[in-house]
Amino acid sequence: MNHSTIVPFIKWAGGKRQLLDQIKERMPKQYNRYYEPFVGGGAVVFELQPERAVINDINRALVNAYRQIRSLPEAFLSAVKALDGQMWEDGKAYYYMLRERYNDKLMKEEFDTELAALFVFMNKHCFNGLYRVNGKGLFNVPYNNSRLQSVDEASIREISAYLKKIVIMEGDFEVACAEAKEGDFLFFDSPYAPLNPDSFESYTKEGFDIESHRRLALLYGELTKKGCYCMLTNHNTEFIHELYGNQGYTMDVVSVKRLINSDAKKRVGEEVIICNY
C-alpha cells in the first residue's frame, strides 16, 4: 500500500469520500486483488491505493479521462490549462461553447486527450458536478458560474503515477469481475437504487435499471460462493433489503449527506453498507 494522499480529480454522483472511514473499518484485514467495477470519481481506490487493482466503469468519457491521465499526464494538463486560460469574459457563453464541442466529440467517438480535458472542465464548471446525459447520450448539465481552475497539477501527476500500476477497464460490471478469485476484495458502489421505486437516475445513456440491480445481486451471491470478500453500498431502501436481506450478509445503516441533490432539504439520507464476511 502507498499511503500518500491522492484525491479524486472530479466530483461524481454518489462519491464515497464522506464514507471512507466507515468503509475502511469494515474492510477485510487481508485480501489479494482489489476490484472496483463502478469506480466513478475513484475516492475509495485513491484512498486505499492497492498495488494490485482493477477499476472499471461503463461511462466511456470517464474511463477515457482515467486512461489519458495515466498515459499522457502532461498533454492532459496542457489541454486543461488551455481551456482554463481562454475563459472568462463571458463564462456562460464559453461554457456552452465548450459543452457543444464536448458533445460533438462524443458523437464522433473521439476519445482522446482533448475530450478528457473537456470532460474535467465540464465537471468543474457544471451545476453540482453532475454528469447527466439526454436520450442521445449528450451531456446537458448547465453552467455553475464557477471560474475556478479545473485541476491541481501536482495531484494529476500523483494520480497518473498510481494509475500506471493498475488495470483500467471499460464496460459492464460482470465482465470487470470475471477473473475475481477466492481471497480477492470487490467494492461495489453501483448507481443508486431509487428512493422512489418509479424513478431511476441515469448517468450514462445505458442507464442502470431494476434488472441491472437484480443482476448485480446475483453476481454478489456468486462471488460470495467463490470465497471473494464483497462490500456494497447503496440507498437504504426496501428494494435493496429485498435483494440482499436474508442472505447472511452484514447490513449496516449509516447517515450521509447528499451533496448533489438540488434541494438542500433532501441532502441528508441513509445508506447501507453490505458485507458478505
Q: What is the pLDDT of residues 123-164, one digit of tens each?
A: 999 998 889 998 888 999 999 998 889 999 999 999 999 999
Q: What is the pLDDT of residues 73-94, one digit of tens each?
A: 999 999 999 999 986 778 999 9
Q: What is the pLDDT of residues 190-214, one digit of tens each?
A: 988 877 655 555 555 567 888 999 9
Contact in structure between 190 and 38 (CB atoms under 8 Å): yes
Q: Give me the long-range contacts of 208-217 (CB less than 8 A, separation at least 24).
A: 210/239, 213/239, 213/243, 214/243, 215/174, 216/173, 216/188, 216/190, 217/243, 217/244
Distance CA 268, CA 52 (A): 35
Region(s) of the chain under CATH 3.40.50.150: 17-58+171-275
* Candidate CATH numbers 3.40.50.150, 3.30.43.10, 3.40.50.10540, 2.60.120.10; the one for domain 17-58+171-275: 3.40.50.150
pLDDT at 206: 60
Residue 270, pLDDT above cutoff 70:
yes
Helices H / strands E in the chain, number of each? 10, 7
> What 3-state DSSP class applies to 143?
strand
pLDDT at 43: 95
CA 194 to chain centre: 17
Contact in structure between 3 and 34 (CB atoms under 8 Å): no
pLDDT at 25: 96
Q: Homologous superfamily of 64-157 in CATH?
A: Adenine-specific Methyltransferase, Domain 2 (1.10.1020.10)
Residue 264, pLDDT above cutoff 80:
no
Instruction: Give percent of the chain with pLDDT exceeding 70.
Output: 90
Per the model's pLDDT, the better-predicted residue between 2 and 108 turns out to be: 108
Residue 262, pLDDT above cutoff 60:
no
Distance CA 13, CA 266 (A): 14
Q: Where are the alpha helices (DSSP H) in 108-152?
A: 113-125
> What 3-state DSSP class applies to 19?
helix
Region(s) of the chain under CATH 1.10.1020.10: 64-157
pTM: 0.91
Section 217-244 average pLDDT: 96
Q: Got the DSSP string for 168-234?
A: EEES-HHHHTTT--TT-EEEE-PPPPPSSTT----SSTT---HHHHHHHHHHHHHHHHHT-EEEEEE
